[in-house]
Amino acid sequence: MFARILGWAVVALAVCGAGARGEKPWAEIVGPSQAKLPAPQDKLEWRGDLAQALAEARATGRALFVTLRCLPCKQCASFDSAVLEGGGELEALLAQFITVRLTSASNIDLRLLPVEGWQDLDLSWWGWLLAPDGRIYAIFGGKDHVSDSTRISPAALANTLRRVLEHHYDPRRASWDVDGPAPALEGRAPTPLDLPGAESWKKRGGASLYKDGCLHCHQVNEILRQPAIEAKRFDKARDLDVWPLPENVGLTLERDDGLLVKRVEPKSPAARAGVALGDRLVVAGERKLFGQADFRGVLHRGPAGAGAIEVLLKRGTELVRVTLDVREGWRDTQLGWRKSIADGNIGAAPGFAWPLEVKPEQRRKLGIADGTMAVKPFFGKDGAQWPALKAGLREDDVIVAVGGRSPNVVQREFMTWFRLNYEPGDTVSLTVRDARGRDREVRYSAPAPGRD
């Protein structure tokens, strides 16, 4: 851990290097901006063509704000409406950008929006902030197992937009070279359907889900995983530890600010590094941070197991460098809400269409203890094909255990739990309770995912 360093001049030499070592002048980069913003555009206009928008950004010198929104998904719908409607400070900030709204992942340009490593593909709304040459300034978005709104808000977006504008219009920005390489845009734009796993994903059941040319973001996740799954290299214990939360390193960040440390968990990597309440994250993994999603992106691209993550903090007028030493297992998060797992190509399907929740009064009537499994199987209109139905499971049964285990999970959480614990061909043993309170066992082989 580095000692506290006083004064911006000292920081520039002692923390960020004097240039001879090739290090960035971070004290200048995260210090007061010299930006002079132009007048906002006359009106907020959402464009649907990213290539044309990029050309407009180059012609005007304005940065781009691109949203990727999956319309059929209810998740983040209210936030999407708030962004579209704008109003007040948010609309004035958005009017400084060339704004783009894309509603299908099927034709996004992966050179400009390189989703792997940069976008949480289990979300139905995501934002990209780009330079006119396509360099990535920032990303915005977030969700967790609690709700759609615990990680994002209009105020958080406004703060990210403001920080990006101050960075974009700072006359020193080009000399800093901190925004990564500009993408090469010659030739045809590659899309998610050009990825190595796309054709195999469609043949193995994805084609029935890819309807009317609308590819969902969570389906892009499935396509990215398909080659490793087929090669039997996909490790469910490690490869699903994606998009760790700040809490994984011991930090709670104030949601609307995005980067302000609200709490430091005792004995955590952050506490061991000396992070303090009231610090503000400004750089991590050699990326300038504009909001919480940027920090989560650094964590996502960080060590798979034990390792170190370099962070620069602002503590008042001081700049402090700390090292977060993370240990094996640090990335673990709750996965039950992730659609690309619950409905995707990982593990086995449960042998019926969907696990419904059992009402509390029925639990009591059947003598099912609180905190244990109580799942009603749903088969759908074509249910005769399902292995569980063929084995004797019925829709008026209640599943109280699977393989002798009885976690209290239903709906998407049950699907995720099942897929993490079973592979196609595994023997499934259900303990089911009928309407008269009698238990019996139902056994069958778990089917592969994608079975309709």
In-domain check, residue 238: no
Measured CA to CA, the distance from residue 259 to residue 292 in angstroms comes to: 6
Q: Where are the beta strands (DSSP E) in 20-154?
A: 46-47, 64-69, 98-102, 125-130, 136-140
Residues of the chain with pLDDT > 70, as a percent, come to 93
Measured CA to CA, the distance from residue 56 to residue 130 in angstroms comes to: 13
Mean pLDDT of 388-404: 97
Number of domains in the chain: 3
Q: Given this model, what pLDDT does residue 208 score?
A: 63
On whether both 146 and 37 belong to a single domain, the answer is yes
Q: Given this model, what pLDDT does residue 207 score?
A: 61
Task: Tell me which H or E stretch contains 272.
Answer: helix 269-273
On whether both 200 and 301 belong to a single domain, the answer is no
In-domain check, residue 433: yes
Can you give the residue range of the structural domain that contains 265?
1-31+243-330
Mean of the per-residue pLDDT values of the chain: 91
Domain boundary (231, 262, 282) is at 231
436-450, pLDDT tens digit by residue? 999 999 999 999 987
pLDDT at residue 8 greater than cutoff 60:
no
Q: Please count the other Cβ atoms lying within 10 Å of the Cβ belonging to residue 21.
A: 7
On whether both 265 and 399 belong to a single domain, the answer is no
CATH number of the domain where residue 431 is located: 2.30.42.10
106-140, pLDDT tens digit by residue? 989 999 999 999 999 999 999 999 999 999 999 99
Q: Given this model, what pLDDT does residue 10 score?
A: 32
pLDDT at residue 5 greater than cutoff 60:
no
On whether both 115 and 191 belong to a single domain, the answer is yes
On whether both 300 and 380 belong to a single domain, the answer is no
Measured CA to CA, the distance from residue 112 to residue 98 in angstroms comes to: 15
424-438, pLDDT tens digit by residue? 999 999 999 999 999
> In which order are the strands placed within the sheet that holds 439-445?
354-357, 375-378, 398-402, 427-433, 439-445
DSSP assignment of 52-89: HHHHHHHHHT--EEEEEE-TT--TTHHHHHHHHH--HH
On whether both 219 and 148 belong to a single domain, the answer is yes
On whether both 18 and 132 belong to a single domain, the answer is no
On whether both 133 and 199 belong to a single domain, the answer is yes
Tokens in use for 53? 């928008």
In-domain check, residue 338: no
Residues of the chain with pLDDT > 90, as a percent, come to 84
In-domain check, residue 342: no
Domain boundary (206, 231, 256) is at 231
User: pTM (2 decimals)?
Assistant: 0.91
Domain boundary (284, 300, 330) is at 330
Mean pLDDT of 417-422: 97
Q: Is-contact 161 196, C-beta < 8 A? A: no
In-domain check, residue 236: no
Q: Please count the other Cβ atoms lying within 10 Å of the Cβ belonging to residue 53.
A: 25
User: At a CB cut-off of 8 Å and minimum separation 6, what does 29 contact?
Assistant: 176, 178, 283, 288
